[in-house]
Chains A and B, each alone.
Chain A
Amino acid sequence: MALFEYEFMRRAFIVGLLLAVIIPCIGVVVVLKRLTMIGDALSHSSLAGVAAGLVMGVNPILGAGVTCVVAALGIETIRKKMPQYSDIAIAVVLSSSIGMAGVLSGFVKNAANFNSFLFGSIVAFSDFEMTLVVCVSFAVMLAFVLLYKELFFIAFDERAARLAGVPVGMVNNIFTVLTAITVSIASRTVGVLIVSSMMVIPVACAMQLRASYKRTVIYSVCFAVAFTAAGLYVSYYARLKPGGTIVLLGVACLILILSAKKLLKF
């Protein structure tokens, strides 16, 4: 196929598919915990982190990672205080991140630097970013497999999980930190849009199929992989922006599933 003649397309496929495997795994748990918008909130806090890093002369990638982890733990803390309203936690962290990024970016002297850290596109990223994504992907996959049962239990009923002897606090913290790192690295590499939507749309599609938890995870990953591959393929031949194409394909698929369900009444 013509599109694989280009190295940037091969790289886009590798990174895109890796992320399509790990992000929905995180997404399933996130959606069940009613934290759907966490991807957006965290990517904005990584923006604040980049600005903070540039202002204080620290490595901006490190800055982004640190603020993302802090923001994610912040969401976790607020969520524990108001368990029924976990979206409040996200709104608080999201708005404070945007506020902080706005204020701090006023102090960034060299906007060129700032832009190159914010800009992410699945068809243009550096070798270093690719390495980071690969490493994080394997870390997340490993954690997801090892903590599979615990996450499953917590996602559905945190209180029952605690009574059953699951170390809820620790598992939650590990999961939160992994989510934060994934978002902060992936959003810089492939763009915020892909990361925050891949966390939710494939999971929403899979949940329509009313399968078991395990099947839902597998279906989500399949959906995400299909959206990414099809999106890259379509955007190449139809000359569209890849990020937006991937997301819109996912949404189209979700609408299709919903209307098919209504027609077939199952």
Chain B
Amino acid sequence: MKRFCMTLWVCVAALVLLEGWGGYSPVMGAVNENKSQKLSVLASFYPMYDFAVKIGGERVSVTNMVPAGMEPHDWEPAAADIAELEKAAVFVYNGAGMEHWVSDVLGVLQNRALITVEASKGIKLLEGHHHESHEDEHEDEHEDEEHDHEHEDEVHDPHVWLSPVYAKAELENIKNALVQADPEGKSYYEANYEKYAAECDALDKEFTNILAPLPKKDIVVTHQAFGYICERYGLRQVPIEGLSPDSEPDPGRMAEIIDFVKEHGVKVIFFEELASPKVAETIAKATGAATDMLSPMEGLGEEEIASGIDYFAVMRRNLKSLAAALQ
């Protein structure tokens, strides 16, 4: 018994020592390392990652916090992710209620030097669901962060990156933060921003040119993520479920959608890569429509990322699917 107690005390003492030593060194180390090495940037999920890579280029090393193929709506950071945040120089997140964990996590961080970017800042957000109970909301989305903890009660549609115009605005916010974190690289970041902003404009034109002349304007989607595309190009989205994917649809709603599809001659029911296609398939089967994928780009599979696909490639693929469906 005595020996057991001794061992226990030694273990406790060792743990305390390790804790004290481990707690200080990474932060100190990060400050020293960052001067010589690349700027370390953490991005909350795929589009943020891709945008940060595009602007930061060779001067930064970007890490995507949500692993490839995970659904970011349900993701929460693990202890290791928070440790990464303690070491990072810049943290890029979309905001607008997409990452419900951000305000909690930023509150506990000790990393005073961390520059955080809410990429959707300054964008005029669309109302999300038709929740009647949110009429007393403030205009400023910052005030809404408290309300965004429950994803079901989402006030704003967070999927702003799906509009090329807003993607450009997010790129600019990210650029400004990188300039702030690394003023020496200002001209480099500016040049990258100009390059991709031009590409966003080109993409926007492509969307307008291809979608405008098409006769049909209604798209049926499983996840109400395409509000900004619809707003920009005059389409109408008919969502089967709400802003979060993967909730059980109610049968009355499904019947309504089936009627809508038949009435308007909708040819394609869109599903997304990270949620179950079962509901889309059920409706397609009942109406004789086809199913196709329309990516909200919340996360790409590992193979897709490995194949070098990026924001613009996925958007062009979406455009192709949309064009085929709206013929």
Contact = CB atoms under 8 A, between A and B. Distances in A.
Interface of A: 2-3, 6-9, 12, 108-112, 115-116, 118-119, 121, 123-126, 191, 232, 235-244
Q: In this complex, which of A110, A112, A125, A236 has the most chain B Cβ atoms within 10 angstroms of its Cβ?
A: A112
B280 to A, nearest CB: 9
B251 A236 contact: yes
B181 interface: no
Nearest to B71: A111
Contacts of B71: 111, 115
A109 B299 CA distance: 12
A116 B277 contact: yes
A8 B278 contact: no
B302 interface: yes
Nearest to A7: B286
A156 to B, nearest CB: 38
Contact of A239 (B69, B250, B281, B283): B250
Q: In this complex, which of B247, B251, B255 has the most chain A Cβ atoms within 10 angstroms of its Cβ?
A: B251
B185 interface: no
Contact of B251 (A110, A126, A232): A232
Contacts of A240: 250
B250 A242 contact: yes
A111 B247 CA distance: 16
Contact of B69 (A109, A116, A242, A244): A109
A241 B255 contact: no
Given A109-B301, A110-B301, A125 B278 contact: yes
A46 to B, nearest CB: 16
Interface stretch (B6-14, B21-29, B114-122, B268-276): B268-276
A6 B287 CA distance: 10
B248 A241 contact: yes
Q: In this complex, which of A9, A119, A124, A239 has the most chain B Cβ atoms within 10 angstroms of its Cβ?
A: A124
Contacts, number: 97
B68 A9 contact: no
B216 to A, nearest CB: 24
A8 B276 contact: no
A115 B248 CA distance: 13
Interface in B287-327: 299, 301-302
Contact of A111 (B274, B277, B285): B274
Given A109-B69, A112-B301, A115-B246, A8 B277 contact: no
Nearest to B277: A116
A124 B278 contact: yes
A123 B282 contact: yes
A185 to B, nearest CB: 15
Given A6-B286, A115-B275, A242-B248, A123 B254 contact: yes
B253 interface: yes
B276 A119 contact: yes
A9 B256 CA distance: 13
Contacts of B299: 111
Interface of B: 68-71, 246-255, 258, 273-279, 281-283, 285-286, 299, 301-302
Contact of A119 (B68, B246, B251, B285): B246
A112 B70 CA distance: 8
Given A109-B68, A109-B302, A111-B70, A8 B252 contact: no
Given A7-B285, A112-B301, A115-B71, A239 B252 contact: yes
B198 to A, nearest CB: 33
Contacts of A125: 278, 282
A6 B250 contact: no
Contacts of B279: 121, 123-124
8 contacts: A111-B274, A112-B275, A115-B276, A116-B275, A118-B276, A119-B275, A123-B282, A124-B282
A150 B279 CA distance: 42
A242 B302 CA distance: 35
B305 to A, nearest CB: 11
Given A8-B258, A111-B299, A124-B279, 11 more contacts: A3-B251, A109-B302, A111-B70, A112-B69, A115-B275, A116-B277, A123-B249, A124-B281, A191-B248, A236-B252, A239-B250
A7 B251 CA distance: 11
A14 to B, nearest CB: 14
A241 B250 contact: yes
B258 A126 contact: no
B261 to A, nearest CB: 12
The 3 closest A-B pairs by CB, nearest first: A119-B276, A116-B276, A239-B252
A112 B248 contact: no
A54 B278 CA distance: 18
B246 A8 contact: no
Contacts of B68: 109
Q: In this complex, which of B246, B276, B281 has the most chain A Cβ atoms within 10 angstroms of its Cβ?
A: B276
B274 A123 contact: no
A160 to B, nearest CB: 44
A242 B254 CA distance: 12
Contacts of B70: 111
